[in-house]
Amino acid sequence: MLEHWHVPTVISLLNFHTCSLDVLAIISVSVAVWLLRTCKGTRGDTLARHPLPPGKCAKLYEREFARSSDNSKGPKPLPFVGNFHQLPKEDFHLTYGDWAKSYGPIIYFHVFGRQFVVLNTMDVVNDLLVKRSATYSTRPHLVMAGELVGRDQNSVLFLKYGQRLKEVRRVMDLWIGKNNLSSNYPVSLSVNRKLLLSLLEKPDRGLEHIKFAVGSLMLKLTYGIDCATEGDPYIMLVDKMTRITSEASAPGRWLCDSFPILAKVPSWMPFAGFKRWAAEAHEFIEKAIHAPYEFTRSSVLQGKAPDSWLASMMLDADGNTVSGRTAENLWIAASAIYVGTIDTTVSVVNTFLLMMTRHPEIQRKAQLRIDAVIGEDRLPVLEDRESLPYIDNIIKETLRFITVVPIIPHCADKDDIYMGHRIPEGTYVMANMWSIMHDPNLFKEPGEFRPERFEDSPDRPAEPDFSRAAFGFGRRICPGYHFSMASLFMYMASILATFDILPVKNELGEDELPPVKFLDGHIRMPHPFKFRAVPRNDRKAALIQEANLTNVDVNKL
Ligand code: HEM
């Protein structure tokens, strides 16, 4: 049985800080426990209805599974491990996309008894995640990130669908929803102008400036925190929380996600390093969530809190700071803002800069359009968006090209039947956004960056605009959608209006084009790269200086 386990792969995916023998011990114990439970007919309701005789468990289980969820539309599984051995270490979306070519738009597979459905076209995604969002709006149960690190209690992204999620999303909507765009705008504008100044003053540190602008904007809006330019402790804190969360939820990394029974192993056992890691991560995340919240609470109590979303809801009708469930909703909502924004927005803006560096012709065209609308004497503002459809097309193309969240995971919270297939409760139902956004039947040369694809022309109709789908679906759609589209416009339009984005030069004085390479993960991000931001002319540089002199002081907002 063990050769089917692809043991080296399992071990390389682990981060248990323990030796391989320990891992093998865990695997052996888990296999034994699984077989015992299976043979007793206690594993899953299908098998519970059909107790299996010892010795034939694996074969019968496989047949039973095939009957229950029609596993025929997916790669052939092995007994017990299912399709584990066919899963890649990274770039899952590419493998799922390849499977879709053989098995069609819906793929079914299973790994150690956990069932997965991957949706590879917008039609099937809409049918399930949008039209049936009453069934498909919960999140998969993750043992490490959710249960052990505790993110299923304190992170919007991991919360199961239910009352708590609705309450927290309502709070977020008040803060960052469509109707609040204009009241957030002065702070956003101020941060945007500071970003231009940073690019002017330190043009060789472009990517750092973007990250700082995105992070500091969210901390200011949410908590009223003014970040120091470098090494801000709050930015470092929430950044670390983001990193830990993504490590804890990395697919295939933690054996306990495949064998939930391992969550019960006592932390003191020698091979239970993962439990000790989880306990430390949990403690750190609790601190990282509460530190900025406490900052706002104490400044509200002292009557000197700068305006912020949190401060606006911190006091009850009697002037006391809120407590209990209301306070919990606030800190959960507040902490989701930074985590939800940082990597996603930075990824899109960095991809935009990468593409501008590589495509001077697109950059020039966009600059001419901007100049025609705003002239020489001012910088772009949000109201210009309607007059600048080409910038919107650059945003759409950047979202399509990078596909920031390549796989969007939802989960069935009751049994369902779709196109004759049974989808049991608990199945992971994942939209393969990467395949959809790169479908050659919909997008001509999908690997090319081409904003014009969204324009109608006499010889070619516009290609589909799935930019909204890049933000998810149904009741779990990203609460930051409207805010993000507005801020992406402001980042892109104001950078293009004022700077030429150019490649760096090598020792021979030649342009060195940055490669198109991405870091894999839940969130796709360009590999760090270098570019030069050169002011288009003296007038533009002066406009940036003036905007920062006359800029409203965000500390007083
Ligand atoms: C370019 C920017 C962004 C992209 C591409 C993006 C994308 C996404 C996607 C794909 C999801 C999953 C939706 C689903 O499960 O169907 C999501 C969820 C979420 N996003 Fe964003 N997002 C962006 C910006 C933001 C911003 C600015 C915020 C700040 C509020 C935010 C907060 C969240 C939260 C809290 C969730 C979890 C929602 C839930 O599970 O109910 N995101 N985002």
Residue of minimum CA distance from atom 31 in ligand 1:
340
**Cβ(234) – ligand 1 distance below 6 Å:** no
What spacing in Å lies between the alpha carbon of 484 and ligand 1's midpoint? 9
Q: Is the CB of 337 under 6 A from ligand 1?
A: yes
Q: What integer pLDDT is reported at residue 72 of this predicted model?
A: 59
pLDDT of residue 42: 33
User: What's the 156 CA to ligand 1 centre distance in angstroms?
Assistant: 10
Read off the DSSP letter of residue 329.
H
CA-nearest residue for atom 12, ligand 1, is: 472
User: Does any ligand 1 atom lie closer than 6 A to the CB of residue 476?
Assistant: yes
Of 147, 157, 143, give the one whose Cα is nearest residue 332: 157
Q: Is 344 in the pocket of ligand 1 (CB under 6 A)?
A: yes
DSSP letter assigned to residue 379 = -
Which tokens is 25 given? 């011990």
Whether 215 lines ligand 1, by a CB cut-off of 6 Å, is no
Contact of 4 with 80, CB cutoff 8 Å: yes
DSSP label at residue 144? I
Alpha-helical runs (H) found in 261-323: 273-301, 309-312
Q: What share of the chain is helix, strand, coil (3-state, %, to 5)?
A: 55, 10, 35
For residue 176, report the distance from its CA to the centre of ligand 1, in Å: 12
Testing ligand 1's pocket by substitution, the residue of 133, 139, 344, 483 carrying the most ligand atoms inside 8 A of its CB is 344
Residue 213 C-alpha to ligand 1 middle, in angstroms?
18
Tokens representing 395? 């945003």
Cβ neighbours for 364, distance < 8 A, ≥ 6 positions apart: none
- Averages of pLDDT over runs of 10 residues in the chain (557 residues) are 25 29 45 43 31 41 45 83 89 93 93 92 97 96 94 94 97 93 91 96 92 94 88 88 90 85 90 93 94 94 92 89 94 94 96 98 98 95 96 98 96 94 94 97 96 92 96 97 97 97 93 92 92 96 90 46
Q: Is 227 annotated as a binding residue?
A: no
Q: How far is the CA of 547 from the centre of ligand 1 (A)?
A: 31
User: In ligand 1, which atom is closest to the CA atom of 129?
Assistant: 16
* Ligand 1 geometric centre to CA of 36 (Å): 41
Residue 103 to residue 108: CA distance in whole angstroms: 9
pLDDT at position 130 is 97
**Cα–ligand 1 centroid distance for 448 (angstroms):** 25
Cα 488 to ligand 1 centre (Å):
14
- Atom 16 of ligand 1, residue of closest alpha carbon: 472
The distance of Cα 462 from the centroid of its chain, to the nearest Å, equals 28
- Residue 543 in contact with ligand 1 by CB distance below 6 A: no
For residue 407, what are the CA distances in angstroms to 132, 176, 384, 469? 19, 24, 33, 12
Residue of the nearest CA to atom 32 in ligand 1? 340
Structural domains of the chain sorted by starting position, each given as residue range(s) with its CATH number in brackets: 7-556 (1.10.630.10)
d(CA 476, ligand 1 centre) in Å = 8
- How far is Cα 292 from Cα 175, in angstroms, rounded to an integer? 17
Residue of the CA atom closest to atom 7 of ligand 1: 471
Q: What is the ipTM of this complex?
A: 0.99
Closest atom of ligand 1 to 399 CA is: 5
Q: Atom 43 of ligand 1 has which residue's CA nearest to it?
A: 478
478 lines ligand 1 (CB under 6 A): yes
Q: Does residue 472 have its Cβ closer than 6 Å to ligand 1? A: yes
CB 389 within 8 A of CB 366: no
The pLDDT value recorded for residue 49 is: 31
Q: Which protein residue's CA is at the shortest distance from atom 19 of ligand 1?
A: 478
Instruction: Report the separation in Å between the CA atom of 508 and the middle of ligand 1, taken as the mean of its atom positions.
Output: 44
190 lines ligand 1 (CB under 6 A): no
Q: Do the bridges between strand 525-526 and strand 407-411 make them parallel or antiparallel, or are there none, so unpaired?
A: unpaired
Q: Kindly tell me the burial class for residue 456, based on how many C-beta atoms sit within 10 Å of its own C-beta (0-12, 13-18, 19 or more).
A: exposed
